[in-house]
Amino acid sequence: MQSLDLFCTWLAATPLSQTIQSIEWVIPAVQTVHILAVAAVMASVLMIDLRLMGLGARDQTIMAVAKRFLPFVWWPLPILLATGSTLIVAEPARALENPVFYLKMGLLLAAAGITLICQIPLARNAAFWELSSRRRWAARLIASVSLPLWVAVIFAGRWIAYIQRA
Amino acid sequence: MLEAFLQSLQDTAVATAIREGESLFPWVECVHVLALTIVIGSIAIVDLRLMGLASRDRSVAETTAATLPVTWSAFVVAAITGGLLFSSNATTYAHNFYFLAKLSLIAVAGLNMAAYHLFVGRGADAWRTPSLTPLRARVSGAVSLCLWITIAACGRWIGFTINAPT
């Protein structure tokens, strides 16, 4: 992992990284924007998953709830990538040499993937998850995998701060 | 008197365990972060509807009915985990500017919410579309959103002004 070490050292020495590091408020401010974007994603995912599980907003179709909240799952992602990347530039080794960071990215891919699995059939047929009792159970299954995955993304995100580099 | 109380809080078995345990603090913090993302995200759903920026096809009353149970459940979890984190270092947190600011702003947000339920939100059943939503309700939503964004920032700044991993 010597090349990764070198890369982190190089990145931390760049003028951009040095500037971020030298201005005290930048990292907490960027982390605040990051956590607010996470809040938008997490609350939206929760509202969709509760509906998929049949636990909330049952006066509305799955499609109506998905249409209302899915933009707030995808739309914050560029903000999360931008703020997350800024934090990496500021402290490269904190993330890039941290196994929990890669765990978080893997969990994030899985969580985004399962969101697509729910979303893509809906685009073709708005009632897709309500057509049969098998589909309804599939929707419940998707929600009960999705929710723990997103929770794990958040937990891993916080643990990055506590795990020493590999 | 207050100092003695804070000290005895900090000396309780639970607080000591969180302070001295290897991984108890990060785990409690994980749950706190998860809960606060749900609190802020779900409040934002209501605030954005009040402001006429999201859920425009749903009435204010329907939006609050579907969202506030989620908000309150998550708030209870955030308050309990927040209390546990506080207890682990009560004498230090109690003198931290951002901690005090955060608690004060949560109280202000609570007052804003109480004012909404008692006065501002009267007649919300009739606010079917954004154009039927009165200005006082839009202002209430905007105030709430600003408050919670600031509360999130204060929370993040606590970590940077107290010696802890960030």
Q: What is the pLDDT along chain A (166 residues), one digit of tens a residue?
A: 689 999 999 999 999 999 999 999 999 999 999 999 999 999 999 999 999 999 987 889 999 999 999 999 999 999 999 999 999 999 999 999 999 999 999 999 999 999 999 999 999 999 999 888 999 999 999 999 999 999 999 999 999 999 875 5
Q: Residues near B90 by Cβ (< 8 Å), separated by ≥ 6?
A: B6, B7, B9, B10, B15
* Residue B93 placed within a domain: yes
> In chain B, which stretches have pLDDT less than 50?
none
ipTM: 0.94
Neighbours of B97 (CB within 10 A): 11
Domain tally, chain B? 1
Whole-number pLDDT of residue A165: 57
Whole-number pLDDT of residue B64: 93
Whole-number pLDDT of residue B22: 84
Cα–Cα dist B64/A73, whole Å: 20
- Residues of chain A that touch chain B, judged by Cβ-Cβ distance less than 8 Å: 27-29, 31-32, 35-36, 38-44, 46-47, 50, 56-57, 59, 68, 72, 151, 154-155, 157-159, 161-162
Whole-number pLDDT of residue A153: 98
Interface test with B, best of A42, A87, A104 (most B CBs within 10 A): A42
* Residue B128 placed within a domain: yes
**Which of B34, B40, B157 comes nearest A151 by C-beta?**
B34
Tens digit of each residue's pLDDT (9 = 90 or more) over A135-158? 999 999 999 999 999 999 999 999
* Residue B136 placed within a domain: yes
Residue A155 buriedness (CB in 10 A; 0-12 / 13-18 / 19+): buried
Quote the tokens at residue A119.
Answer: 């979303």
Question: Cα-flanking dihedrals φ and ψ of residue A25, to 5°?
Answer: -85, -10
* Residue B166 placed within a domain: no
Q: How far is CA A158 from CA A36, A108, A165, B101, in A?
A: 14, 14, 14, 23
Interface test with B, best of A94, A159, A163 (most B CBs within 10 A): A159
Spell out the domain ranges in chain A.
2-159
* Residue B145 placed within a domain: yes
Structural domain that includes position B112: 2-161
| Reported pTM | 0.94
Whole-number pLDDT of residue B106: 98
Cα–Cα dist A158/B166, whole Å: 9
Considering only alpha carbons, which residue of chain A is nearest residue B43?
A: A43
